[in-house]
C-alpha cells in the first residue's frame, strides 16, 4: 500500500535520528578506547623506565652488598652523620668486569661507620654494602668493590647513582650523586690491578687493591703496573708496619728506627728493660738486656762519677754538669736544649749523635717522657686527665680540651732544673691518626699538641737512667 507524504517524512526523521544516535555512540566508544590506550601506553613507558633502574640495581654486584626493597634511608647533612668528602667512581662500566669505588671522609668517629648506601635514582630498591673507613696515607677511605652483571637492556643507558655513608646505629650522611653509563663500546682493559671496570686507572692514582698495610701505598704507573712504596717514618718488618719507637714484640731492646733501618729492628741502647726481676731491672746494650749490679747501677765507676743520683754535677768544668738526672722517672736529660729550632728528622740526628758525659743512647723523648717535664699544671702532668701518651696517640680519641693545659698565666711549666728553656718541644711520638704529625709540648702553657713533621721547634734529648 502506498505511503502518504506525511508518513514518509516521519519515517525519514526516525531513520535520521537513529543514525545520529549510532554515530554518537560509536564516536564515544572510539574516544574511550583512545583514552584507555593512551593511559595504558603511559603506564607501560613508566613501567619500562622503572624497570631499567631496578634492573641496574640488580646488576650491580657489590662485595658484601645486600639489595633491599623500598625507599633508601634519608640522608642527614649535619656533623652527627658521616659525610662524604670525595668520591672516585668510573664514568662507565662494562659488564662482567670488576670495578672499585673510593669514598673518603673526615668523620670524627670513623670506627662507627659500618656501611655504604648505594641507590639508583628512581629505583624501587637500593643496596646496603658492609664496609669500613680505614686510614690511607692522609685520609680516611672506604673502598667498595664489585662487578656488573650482563644485561643487554642496560647497554648504552646512563643513570644517576647516589652514595652515602652509614653508621652502625643507622645514621646516614648526605647523598653524593655520580653519573654512570653502561658502556656500549669495547673496554680499554679487562684485567689487572690498574684496570677499573674496563677503564685504565690514571697514573699515580690508587690501584684496585692493596696489601692492606698501613705503611705502604700502591699506585699505578704510566705502564699500568701497580707499584707499592713504603711511607716515610715507618718500618716494615716481617710484613708488619711499625712507627718510630715501637718495640720488637719479642725483644724490648730493639725498636723501629727508620732513619737507621726501615726494614729491620734497630738497637735501643741504654733503654730500661726487664732482666728478670722487674720492668727496670736491666738496661739494653746491642739488643741484649743487661742485669743491673746488686747496688742498683748499670754503669762502671767512670760513668757513676758523671751520672749521680744527686742530680746536677756541681763541677762546671765537667761535661756531666750539662745533665740532669730525674730519679723519679728514671731519665737523664740534657739541661741545655739545642740552640737551634729543628724539625723531627734533624732533632733525631742531633740526639742520636749526642755523647754528653761519655754516655750514649740519647734520643728524642717520647710524648710520655716529655710530659714528665711538665710541672704545676694538673691536666697535663704525668697522670693528668689529658689522655695523650705513648699508648694513646690518635688525636680524635686521645686529645680533648684538657690537653690545652694552663694557658694565659705567663708561667713556664717546665721542671725547675730546666726553667731557662721554655717553649715548644718535639717528641718522637707520631699521631696514630695522622702519620704526618708528631706530638709536642708547649711549656709556655703546658699544652700538648700535634705539629707537622717538617715544623721546626726546640729539641731536648733524653736517655734512660739505669737505677
Cell numbers given for 20: 545520529
Cell (9 digits) for 400: 680533648
Which residues pair with residue 141 across a beta bridge? 104, 134
State whether the Cα torsion 374-379-384-389 is positive or negative.
Answer: negative
Q: For the chain, what is the mean pLDDT?
A: 83
Q: How confident is the model at residue 439 (pLDDT cuts 50, 70, 90)?
A: very high
Evaluate whether 322 touches 335 at the Cβ level (below 8 Å).
yes
Handedness of CA 453, 325, 329, 374 (dihedral sign): negative
Strands 176-182 and 92-93: parallel
Taking residues 75-86, what's their average pLDDT?
93
What whole-number distance in Å separates Cα of residue 392 and Cα of residue 135?
16
Alpha-carbon distance 467 to 450, whole Å?
32
CATH number (2.60.40.10, 2.60.450.10, 3.60.15.10, 3.50.50.60) of 61-191 reads: 2.60.40.10
CA dist., res. 88 & res. 68, Å (int): 24
Residue 176 has what pLDDT? 96
58 grid coordinates: 640488580
pLDDT for residue 283: 79
Residue 94 has pLDDT above 60, yes or no: yes
Q: What is the pLDDT of residue 410?
A: 77
Q: pLDDT tens digits for 132-141?
A: 998 776 678 8
Rama region for 111: left / alpha / beta (φ>0; ψ in -120 to 50; rest): alpha
Residue 279 above 90 pLDDT? no
d(CA 340, CA 460): 11
- CA torsion angle 56 62 68 71 (round to 10): -60
Cell of 403: 690537653
- Confidence label for 45 from pLDDT (cuts 50, 70 and 90): very low
Q: 646512563: which residue's cell?
A: 158
Percentage of the chain beyond pLDDT 90 is: 51
Strands 60-62 and 84-88: unpaired
User: What is the pLDDT, as a whole number, of residue 212?
Assistant: 74
Q: How many CA atoms lie within 13 A of 173 on its CB side?
A: 29
pLDDT for residue 312 is more than 50: no
Listed in sequence order, the residues at least 6 apart from 75 whose beta carbon sits closer than 8 Å to its beta carbon are 81, 164, 172, 173, 174, 175
* pLDDT given for residue 348 in this prediction: 87
pLDDT at 414: 92
Query: Which one of 161-165, 337-341, 413-417 scores highest in mean pLDDT?
Result: 161-165
| Nearest one of 266, 270, 214 to 245, comparing CA atoms | 266
pLDDT tens digits for 352-374?
Answer: 888 887 787 889 999 999 999 99
**Mean per-residue pLDDT for 417-434?**
85
Residue 248 Cα to chain centre, angstroms: 25
Pairing of strands 462-464, 447-452: unpaired
In tens, the pLDDT along 182-235 reads 999 999 999 999 999 999 999 998 888 777 787 888 899 999 999 988 888 899
pLDDT at 101 over 60: yes
Question: Is the pLDDT assigned to residue 310 strictly greater than 50?
Answer: no
Give the integer Cα–Cα distance in Å for 258 and 280: 26
From 208-222, 239-253, 392-406, the region with the lowest mean pLDDT: 208-222
Check whether 256 has a pLDDT greater than 60. Answer: yes
Instruction: State the pLDDT at residue 9.
Output: 58
pLDDT band for position 11 (50/70/90)?
low
Q: What are phi and psi of 135, to 5 degrees?
A: -65, 140
| CA–CA gap between residue 367 and residue 349 (Å, rounded) | 18
Q: How far apart are CA 219 and CA 459, in angstroms?
A: 36
Sequence spans of domains, the chain = 61-191, 240-298, 308-464
Amino acid at each position: 500500500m502506498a505511503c502518504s507524504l506525511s508518513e514518509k517524512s516521519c519515517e525519514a526523521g526516525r531513520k535520521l535520528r537513529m543514525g545520529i544516535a549510532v554515530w554518537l555512540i560509536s564516536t564515544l566508544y572510539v574516544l574511550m578506547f583512545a583514552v584507555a590506550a593512551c593511559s595504558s601506553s603511559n603506564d607501560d613507558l613508566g613501567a619500562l623506565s622503572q624497570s631499567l633502574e631496578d634492573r641496574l640495581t640488580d646488576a650491580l654486584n657489590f662485595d658484601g652488598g645486600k639489595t633491599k626493597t623500598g625507599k633508601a634511608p634519608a640522608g642527614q647533612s649535619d656533623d652527627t652523620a658521616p659525610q662524604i668528602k670525595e668520591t672516585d667512581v668510573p664514568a662507565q662500566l662494562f659488564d662482567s668486569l670488576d670495578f672499585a669505588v673510593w669514598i673518603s671522609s673526615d668523620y670524627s668517629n670513623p670506627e662507627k661507620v659500618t656501611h655504604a648506601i648505594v641507590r639508583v635514582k628512581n629505583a624501587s630498591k637500593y643496596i646496603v654494602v658492609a664496609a669500613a673507613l680505614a686510614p690511607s696515607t692522609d685520609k680516611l677511605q672506604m673502598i667498595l668493590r664489585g662487578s656488573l652483571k650482563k644485561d643487554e637492556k642496560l647497554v648504552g643507558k646512563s643513570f644517576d647513582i647516589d652514595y652515602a655513608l652509614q653508621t652502625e646505629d643507622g645514621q646516614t650522611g648526605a647523598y653524593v650523586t655520580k653519573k654512570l653509563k653502561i658502556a656500549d663500546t669495547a673496554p680499554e682493559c679487562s684485567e689487572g690491578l690498574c684496570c677499573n671496570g674496563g677503564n685504565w686507572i690514571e697514573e699515580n692514582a690508587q690501584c684496585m687493591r692493596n696489601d692492606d698495610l698501613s705503611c705502604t701505598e700502591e699506585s699505578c704507573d704510566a705502564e699500568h703496573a701497580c707499584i707499592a712504596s713504603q711511607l716515610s717514618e715507618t718500618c716494615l718488618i716481617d710484613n708488619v708496619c711499625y712507627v718510630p719507637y715501637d718495640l720488637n714484640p719479642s725483644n724490648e731492646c730493639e725498636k723501629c728506627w727508620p732513619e737507621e733501618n726501615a726494614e729491620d729492628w734497630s738497637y735501643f741502647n741504654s733503654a730500661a728493660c726487664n732482666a728478670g726481676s722487674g720492668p727496670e731491672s736491666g738496661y739494653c746494650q746491642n739488643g741484649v738486656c743487661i742485669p743491673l749490679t746488686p747496688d742498683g747501677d748499670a754503669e762502671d765507676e767512670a760513668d757513676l762519677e758523671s751520672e749521680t743520683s744527686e742530680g746536677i754535677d756541681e763541677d762546671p768544668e765537667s761535661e756531666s754538669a750539662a745533665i740532669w738526672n730525674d730519679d723519679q722517672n728514671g731519665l737523664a736529660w740534657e739541661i741545655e736544649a739545642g740552640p737551634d729550632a729543628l724539625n723531627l728528622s734533624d732533632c733525631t740526628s742531633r740526639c742520636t749523635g749526642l755523647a754528653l758525659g761519655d754516655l750514649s743512647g740519647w734520643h728524642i723523648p717520647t710524648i710520655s717522657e716529655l710530659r714528665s717535664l711538665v710541672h704545676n699544671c694538673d691536666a697535663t702532668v704525668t697522670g693528668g686527665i689529658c689522655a695523650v701518651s705513648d699508648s694513646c696517640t690518635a688525636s680524635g680519641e686521645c686529645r680533648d680540651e684538657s690537653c690545652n693545659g694552663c694557658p694565659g698565666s705567663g708561667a713556664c711549666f717546665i721542671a725547675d732544673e730546666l726553667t731557662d728553656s721554655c717553649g715548644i718541644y718535639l717528641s718522637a711520638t707520631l699521631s696514630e691518626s695522622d702519620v704526618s704529625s708528631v706530638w709536642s709540648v708547649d711549656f709556655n702553657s703546658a699544652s700538648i699538641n700535634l705539629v707537622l713533621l717538617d715544623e721546626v721547634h726546640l729539641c731536648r734529648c733524653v736517655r734512660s737512667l739505669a737505677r
